């Protein structure tokens, strides 16, 4: 049977149309699948979160070596994931979260984040830790990005070690929450191997709408570091680093600044500062060597992943190649504004080279894990860099115009109070009413060698003159004094304090209208302290400060009646110790300065000097908080009255016994 040409044409048309429709449907299904993949995965019932959704998922763990029978001591390698999703209507800038770890965890890595404290991995986080985003620091909104998942969500892959929880239990943290200001988080919802929370904006802490800007405002802190990019090219840029001391009692001497390059950058040149190591070995191989194959690396300054930078001496300030930067070249000294506001800032300019894939003028990532230390200064803990409004400076032409930086980041550092055994200075107490001086506590500044001494025994009481000699020369005096005063002598003897600076506070007199004390500084280090300062606080007696004789002193009422003390002209140089010719017969002599301070007794809080009100409750030297003794001198008058009471009681009991026998 023959088919007409019309029938054949119709069948061909029908086949073509059906095939076209099926292809269109398949394409539509593929697009639908792609759209489904772009949708974030969140727990059921949480789709209505109107803020920042945080989801912690425990993935797995395996037993580590060595294998132990003791469950508490056994270590486990764990993996988990934290998802942070912006489900609100406001961009989240410089996100930061807190994870309340509780099983002695040691965090080994965090892909997609860095530790906000700036410490390196592996890091102990058993008491909880803060994580900041890197390289994705901001989370945009679904509205502004048409639900582009890579811009509104970040996933942080965590790897670490935990202790003390055997299967089938899952080592879940106590809590998770958003740590950014202006948000409040309820208690997280817990599941067997996950927990999640929706953090929303706190209406009581709403930011001032009149100052709303594209970037975060500059933050407050004890020490502020600005990283301001002034010039940018395809493969390199110039940035000015400015360090400002904002704490009224903070300080840095001979500062050393370090950070970590995260994307293969290296330092080509510096002005206003220098590197501890001129090292180009890191540039000769790897990606840097491949991309800059024809570059003369002999002129490059530093290729270390973690360079250490330091300030230049004053004589380099006008050097055309190394200096000529405002606020540079001060030998690493940053004084508090309460002491000298003109010396509270330091700055230098750095030229940074980049490598692929960051070859773009606008692709700039600041270094991470910032840390700054001084000779004998406070312990500063620095956070992650935060993108802030570009820095402003006067136009170099001299006309009335303002020049903006291309991009600016701020690193906020705050002083951390030293923990027990981690101080670098200590205090001794003595008084006119007690023959013994109380030395610094045992291991006040740490103990490395405890083979021949006891780190757990309290320091032995001393005759006051023993404070003038090094600890290793005090043993004979301490034993002899214990024999005279009938004190027990521990075996082995307590370890020393191991502090570089000690401060003796001696209550010298107490009378009806006031009282007086003597302050003595001892420098047991080999370095000199120029323009030193110390500060003391009291519970009751500070407001009665009257006069200091050989030092300059100022009562800072706004700082809990802190007395700020510094040397007068000609006495502001605390020299280092002088080495003796014979350690046994001619010991080292510490650098020493001394002055008398007087107080008035007035006001409602009348200090009782005999009961300890004459001793400070906080002492600082060059910003570092010094370790205080764990005891204070006891008044012999108090001790004598106690003895009379005890004697009367004994006589009374004896009288009763005699009466009973009769």
pLDDT in tens, 182-226: 999 999 999 999 999 999 999 887 554 445 568 899 999 999 999
Q: Which two tokens stand for residue 132?
A: 């900041």
Q: Which CATH class is domain 425-626?
A: mainly beta
Angle ∠(86,408,272) on CA atoms, nearest 5: 150
**Phi (first) and psi of residue 537, to 5 degrees:** -125, 145
**Which residue matches tokens 């407050």?**
220
What band does 24 get if pLDDT is binned at 50, 70 and 90?
very low
At 38 the pLDDT is 54
Q: Residue 615 gets which letter from DSSP?
A: S
At 580 the pLDDT is 73
Name the β-bridge partners of 371: 258
3-state secondary structure of 468: helix
What band does 347 get if pLDDT is binned at 50, 70 and 90?
very high
Mean pLDDT of 518-536: 95
Q: Residue 452 gets which letter from DSSP?
A: S
What band does 532 get if pLDDT is binned at 50, 70 and 90?
very high
Q: Which fold has domain 52-205?
A: Immunoglobulin-like (2.60.40)
Q: Which two tokens stand for residue 269?
A: 């040149």
Q: How many angstroms separate the CA atoms of 184 and 180, rounded?
A: 9
Name the β-bridge partners of 407: 229
Q: Which CATH class is domain 223-394+402-415?
A: mainly beta
Domain spans of the chain? 52-205, 223-394+402-415, 425-626
Those residues with Cβ within 8 angstroms of residue 298's Cβ, 6 or more apart along the chain or in another chain: 280
- Percent of the chain, pLDDT > 90? 75
Task: Determine contact, residues 414/380, Cβ cutoff 8 Å.
Answer: yes
Task: Determine contact, residues 114/368, Cβ cutoff 8 Å.
Answer: yes
The yes-or-no verdict on residue 330 having pLDDT over 80 is: yes
- The answer to whether domain 52-205 and domain 223-394+402-415 are alike in fold is yes
pTM of the model: 0.86
Encode pLDDT of 61-89 as tens digits.
999 999 998 988 999 999 999 999 999 99
Lowest-confidence pick of 39-53, 444-458, 643-657: 643-657
Q: How many angstroms separate the CA atoms of 13 and 9, rounded?
A: 6
Those residues with Cβ within 8 angstroms of residue 91's Cβ, 6 or more apart along the chain or in another chain: 138, 139, 140, 141, 144
At 348 the pLDDT is 98
For residue 314, how far is the Cα from the chain centroid?
A: 28
Task: Determine contact, residues 175/121, Cβ cutoff 8 Å.
Answer: no
What band does 581 get if pLDDT is binned at 50, 70 and 90?
low
Question: Closest Cα to residue 427, out of 505, 373, 530?
Answer: 505
CA-atom Rg of the chain in angstroms: 34
Encode pLDDT of 496-508 as tens digits.
999 999 999 999 9
Mean pLDDT of 354-363: 95
The yes-or-no verdict on residue 648 having pLDDT over 50 is: no
Q: How many angstroms separate the CA atoms of 95 and 154, rounded?
A: 10
């Amino acid at each position: 049977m023959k088919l007409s040409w019309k029938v054949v044409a119709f069948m061909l048309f029908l086949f073509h149309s059906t095939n076209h429709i099926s292809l269109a449907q398949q394409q539509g299904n593929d697009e639908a699948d792609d759209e489904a993949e772009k949708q974030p995965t969140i727990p059921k019932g949480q789709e209505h979160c109107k803020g920042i959704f945080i989801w912690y998922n425990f993935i797995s763990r395996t037993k580590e070596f060595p294998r132990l029978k003791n469950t508490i001591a056994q270590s486990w390698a764990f993996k988990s994931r934290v998802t942070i999703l912006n489900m609100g209507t406001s961009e989240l800038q410089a996100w930061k979260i807190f994870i309340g770890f509780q099983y002695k965890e040691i965090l080994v890595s965090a892909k997609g984040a860095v530790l906000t404290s700036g410490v390196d991995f592996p890091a102990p986080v058993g008491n909880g830790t803060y994580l900041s985003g890197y390289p994705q620091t901001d989370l945009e909104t679904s509205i502004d990005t048409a639900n582009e998942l890579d811009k509104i969500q970040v996933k942080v892959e965590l790897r670490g070690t935990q202790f003390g929880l055997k299967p089938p239990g899952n080592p879940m943290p106590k809590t998770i929450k958003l740590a950014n200001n202006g948000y409040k988080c309820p208690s997280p919802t817990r599941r067997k191997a996950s927990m999640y929370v929706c953090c929303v904006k706190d209406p009581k802490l709403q930011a001032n709408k009149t100052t709303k800007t594209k970037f975060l405002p500059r933050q407050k802190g004890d020490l502020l570091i600005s990283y301001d990019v002034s010039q940018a090219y395809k493969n390199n840029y110039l940035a000015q680093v400015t360090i400002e001391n904002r704490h009224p009692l903070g300080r840095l001497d001979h500062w050393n600044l370090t950070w970590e390059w995260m994307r293969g950058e290296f330092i080509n040149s510096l002005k206003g500062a220098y590197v501890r190591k001129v090292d180009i070995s890191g540039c000769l191989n790897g990606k840097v060597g491949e991309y800059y194959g024809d570059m003369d690396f002999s002129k490059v300054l530093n290729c270390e992943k973690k360079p250490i930078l330091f300030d230049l001496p004053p004589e380099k300030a006008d050097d055309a190649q190394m200096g000529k930067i405002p606020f540079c070249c001060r030998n690493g000294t940053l004084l508090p504004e309460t002491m000298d506001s003109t010396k509270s800032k330091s700055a230098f300019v750095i030229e940074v080279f980049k490598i692929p894939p960051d070859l773009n003028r606008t692709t700039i990532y600041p270094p991470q894990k910032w840390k700054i230390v001084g000779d004998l200064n406070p312990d500063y803990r620095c956070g992650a860099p935060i993108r802030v409004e570009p820095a402003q400076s006067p136009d170099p032409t001299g006309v009335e115009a303002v020049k903006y930086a291309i991009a600016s980041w701020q690193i906020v550092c705050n002083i951390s109070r030293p923990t027990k055994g981690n101080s670098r200075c200590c205090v001794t107490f003595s008084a006119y009413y007690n023959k013994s001086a109380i030395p610094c506590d045992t291991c006040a500044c740490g103990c490395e060698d405890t083979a021949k001494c006891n780190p757990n025994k309290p320091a032995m009481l001393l005759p006051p003159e023993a404070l003038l000699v090094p600890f290793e020369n005090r043993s004979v005096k301490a034993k002899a004094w214990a024999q005279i005063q009938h004190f027990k002598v521990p075996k082995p003897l307590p370890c020393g304090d191991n502090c570089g600076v000690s401060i003796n506070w001696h209550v010298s007199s107490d009378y009806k209208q006031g009282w007086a004390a003597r302050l003595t500084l001892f420098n047991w280090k080999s370095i000199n302290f120029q323009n030193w300062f110390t500060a003391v606080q009291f519970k009751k007696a500070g407001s009665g400060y009257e006069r200091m004789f050989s030092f300059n002193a100022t009562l800072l009422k706004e700082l809990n009646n802190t007395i700020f003390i510094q040397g007068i002209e000609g006495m502001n140089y605390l020299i280092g110790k002088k080495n003796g010719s014979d350690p046994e017969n001619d010991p080292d002599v510490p650098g020493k300065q001394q002055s008398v301070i007087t107080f008035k007794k007035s006001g409602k809080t009348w200090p009782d000097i005999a009961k300890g009100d004459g001793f400070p409750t906080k002492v600082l030297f060059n910003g570092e908080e010094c370790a205080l003794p764990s005891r204070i001198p006891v008044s012999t008058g108090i001790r004598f009255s106690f003895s009379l009471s005890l004697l009367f009681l004994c006589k009374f009991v004896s009288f009763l016994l005699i009466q009973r026998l009769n």
